[in-house]
Amino acid sequence: MLIVDADKCIGCGVCEENCAFAAITVVDGLAVVADTCTLCGSCVDECEVEALHIEGAEKKIQADLSAWSGIWIFAESRHGVIAPVAFELLGIGRKLADQRGVQLTAVLFGSGVRDSAADLIASGADKVLLADHPELLQYREDVFGRVLEQLIREHKPEVVLAGATAIGRSVIPQVATVLGAGLTADCTGLAIREEDGMLLQTRPAFGGNIMATIECPHSRPQMATVRPNVMAPAEIDPDHRGEVIEVELTDDLLASRVEVLETVISEGEQVNIQEIEVLIAGGRGVESEKGFDLIWELAAELNGAVAASRAAVDAGWISYPHQVGQTGKTVCPKLYIACGISGAIQHAVGMQSAETVVAINRDANASIFDFATYGLVGDLFEIVPLLTKKIQEQRGS
Amino acid sequence: MDIIVCVKQVPDAKDVRLDPETNTLAREGVEAIMNPFDRHALEEAVSLKEQLGGKVTVLSMGPPQAEAVLREAISCGADAGVLVSDRAFAGADTWATSYTLAKAVETIGDFDLILCGKQAIDGDTAQVGPGLAARMDLPYVTCVQKTREATDTGIQVERMMDDGYDVLLLPLPALLTVVKDINEPRVPSLKGKMKAKKAKITVLSAADIGAEEQYIGLAGSPTQVVNVFSPEPRGDRQVFTGTAEEQVDQLVDQIKGYL
């Protein structure tokens, strides 16, 4: 605990200025510590009259950890629709919560998303913290970050999970930074260590060539973003009961320095390839924008989406949101069919964790076959339409 | 417009493997390159400077040899290079890194804009940019795909979303992280190379930037690596033979479960 020596304190306010967490304020000439204090100690070092000290720092940090309880997931919504990854987070979150014997809470931000709270409860949430406000219709880093930060300070969850999506990977680092919390990006595995209840977060590093397991031994909450499509979505139980709690939103929480002038949903790109189970990818071998028609047709037949290598994007045959690989997106579909992609490592790192990889290439020595479950050697302009046709027949029969 | 660009020297991912005997990263013979996304951040900074005037400072945290990426950046149009380098920074996670960079930015002084690559290709976290913005209390936007308009007081950008893009207006100073769609980085000119060779890189230690020991390096990192291992290899692969039709038939048979 942070102790203020009232005899020494001169109320100069240096501690107040230096507190990154706004947890210490001078009231009537005396520093007063709020319960948002993280015991970081920066005020102790700054105090010129040595009026501050942290009592039993070592022990208290441990005691402080136990004050944090419960598993939270951030249920991302866009244009009023909850992102599929939220239900995957509920799936893994439920397991973690049961193992810890704590509640699972979903945090839902948006505008007009009130009705979706029931879906989150049916997918396993015990509580939904609902922040429904027109100002939350558009995603803005500062507003989302501040609201989430305040909720975490107030409720003290031990774990906070979010999707490793454009929004999740943008807002969560801000929140973790101001809370002084450990954050692991783009996890593909989460587990609780039995001995001490610590969250073990596993993620690929160095483009998937290496896996690392990470823990946050001294800070709470333990925060992670989770790669979409890796965790199984929660099973739906319409009888599962939960509570919806409205979050109080004040004007200063909702004030933003960023103005949204326009939101553009790209035609034909409403799908996020990171959340799709079947991806058909085209590369240099597809030869043209017109060549991609074959890829689109196969994707449509398989209810999948279209991905591409950097070569195809650079050639202008398809737009950047479709690009898979080191400088594009990392995807994890159930089925990935690579057509006319040579399989440079820069592409492979973006797709090698797919469950099943099919490679179609005329060059039997192409590296893509090293990452493939099944390989077809031949002309994609012959094979792809044939595959589309055969699948059509299969489904028809 | 005075711009600070954060760059990182990274190992070329295609060469990195885990040494199965020692369970450590086998980095020998691995080429060190400028993080590809940072190249686009640098290009954007240099072209903004060309439009509006001002100065581009490149900033990197890393070992002494990371000086090479700063010189490379100068050859591509940056005006000055600052390397924060200290053994005490070793083992920093993204939290400790954003603290260190924030201290370094404070030391550099006034700026209008900070640009970062979306993420580094070795860690792939995408956390340092937003973390730095949070520490400096700057408005920020990640994954910027286009700068529409920039003045001395504000910047209008397109931010890539999963389903399209948003058009946003930010007051300056601000921080942006960029994706590679934003521009095509230039190659260094001969004049640039000469300039880079002669340039003096400022090297700052932990003490120089006033970084406190408990917030830097391994000790200042809330996350800790427990275990590092190689991913499970994909099972046996099967390359079909025969005519196109025969191969397709075999494939359809195998992937029935997905249909």
- The 10s digit of each residue's pLDDT in B86-116 is 989 988 899 999 999 999 999 999 999 999 9
Mean pLDDT, rounded, for A199-220? 85
Which site among B140, B163, B239, B240 would you substitute to test the A interface, given the most A Cβ atoms closer than 10 Å to its Cβ?
A: B163
Residue type, B115: L
Give the pLDDT mean for B136-146. 96
Is there a contact between A211 and B230 if contact means CB atoms under 8 Å apart? yes
Q: Give dist(CA A30, CA A23) in Å, integer.
A: 14
Q: What DSSP designation does A370 have? A: G
Residue of A30 and B30 predicted with greater confidence: A30
A159-163 and A243-246 beta bridge pairing: unpaired
CA–CA gap between residue B114 and residue B109 (Å, rounded)? 12
Residue-wise pLDDT for B112-129, tens only, equals: 999 999 999 888 899 999
pLDDT at position B58 over 50 = yes
> Residue A338: its pLDDT value, please?
97
Q: Which residues of B touch A396 (CB under 8 A)?
A: none
Q: Mean per-residue pLDDT for B42-51?
A: 97
- ipTM score here? 0.90
Between CA A120 and CA A53 the distance in angstroms is 44
pLDDT grade for A59, boundaries at 50, 70 and 90? very low
Distances (CA, A) of B99 to A146, A259, B125, B133, B192: 19, 27, 16, 10, 32
Q: What's the confidence (pLDDT) of residue A334?
A: 93
* Cross-chain Cβ contact A200/B226 below 8 Å: yes
Q: What is the dihedral of CA A147, A152, A155, A160, to 10 degrees?
A: 120
Nearest residue to A15 (alpha-carbon basis) of A41, A36, A5, A1: A41
pLDDT tens-place string over residues A77-105: 988 889 999 999 999 999 999 999 999 99
- A153-156 contacts at long range (C-beta below 8 A, 24 or more positions apart): A153/A36, A153/A179, A155/A70, A155/A72, A155/A105, A155/A129, A156/A67, A156/A68, A156/A69, A156/A70, A156/A220, A156/A221
* Residue among B134, B141, B238 whose CB faces A178 most closely: B134
Q: Are A121 and A241 in contact (CB under 8 A)?
A: yes
* Token representation of residue A188: 């593909």
Select from B35, B178, B251, B252 the residue whose CB has the most chain A CBs within 10 Å, as the one to mutate to test that interface.
Answer: B251
pLDDT attached to residue A71: 98
The confidence band for A21, taking pLDDT boundaries of 50, 70 and 90, is: low
Contacts of B248 in chain A (CB under 8 A): 376, 383, 386-387, 390
Q: Give dist(CA B125, CA A58) in Å, integer.
A: 30
| Pair B149, B134: CB distance under 8 Å | no
Q: Cα–Cα distance between A207 and A232 in angstroms, integer?
A: 23
Q: Which pLDDT does position B103 carry in this prediction?
A: 98
With cut-offs at 50, 70 and 90, classify the pLDDT of residue A232: confident
* Contact partners, residue B216, CB within 8 Å, separation at least 6: B86, B88, B89, B92, B96, B99, B100, B206
Per-residue pLDDT at A391 exceeds 60: yes
**Tokens representing residue B43 in the block:** 């290009």
| pLDDT of A130 strictly over 80 | yes
Q: What is the pLDDT of residue B133?
A: 98
Q: What is the pLDDT of residues A266-297, one digit of tens each?
A: 766 557 888 889 999 999 999 999 999 999 99
Q: Give the model confidence (pLDDT) of A155-169 as tens digits.
A: 999 999 999 999 999
In this complex, do A266 and B165 lie within 8 Å of one another by their Cβ atoms?
yes
CB contact under 8 A, A261 and B167: yes
Q: Name which of B231, B13, B119, B245 is nearest A371 in CA terms.
A: B231
Q: In this structure, what token pair is assigned to residue A278? A: 């079947």
Mean pLDDT over A250-255 rounds to 93
DSSP classification of residue A81: E
Q: Which residue, chain included where needed, has tokens 């979409």? A: A228
**Least confident segment among A230-244, A320-334, A341-355, B25-39:** B25-39
Mean pLDDT for B25-33 is 69
Q: What is the mean pLDDT of residues B31-55?
A: 95
Residues 92-111 of B with CB under 8 A from A: 93-95, 98
Cβ–Cβ pairs < 8 A, chains A and B: 273
Mean pLDDT of chain A: 90
Residues 240-299, chain A, touching B (beta carbon < 8 A): 257-266, 269-272, 274-275, 277-278
Lowest mean pLDDT among A41-55, A223-237, B23-37, B75-89: B23-37
Cβ of residue B238 closer than 8 Å to a chain A Cβ? yes
The model's pTM is: 0.81
Residue A62 in this model has a pLDDT that exceeds 90: no
Helices (H), chain B: 36-52, 67-75, 94-108, 128-136, 190-198, 244-254
Higher-pLDDT residue of A397, B109: B109
Q: How confident is the model at residue A55 (pLDDT cuts 50, 70, 90)?
A: low
**Chain A, window 172-231: residues with a beta carbon less than 8 angstroms from a chain B beta carbon:** 173-178, 180-186, 200, 204-219
C-beta atoms of A258 and B170 within 8 A: yes
Q: How confident is residue B11, by pLDDT bands cut at 50, 70 and 90?
A: confident
Shortest distance between the Cα of A90 and any Cα of chain B, in A, equals 21
Q: How far is CA A200 from CA A173, A175, A187, A197, B106, in A?
A: 18, 20, 10, 9, 35
Per CB-CB distance under 8 Å, the chain B contacts of A170 are 126, 130, 141-143
Inter-chain CB proximity B224 and A217 less than 8 Å = yes
Burial class for A381, CB neighbours closer than 10 Å (0-12, 13-18, 19+): middle
User: Distance (Å, rounded) from C-alpha A183 to C-alpha A168?
Assistant: 12
Minimum distance, in Å, between the CA of residue A94 and any CA atom of chain B: 23
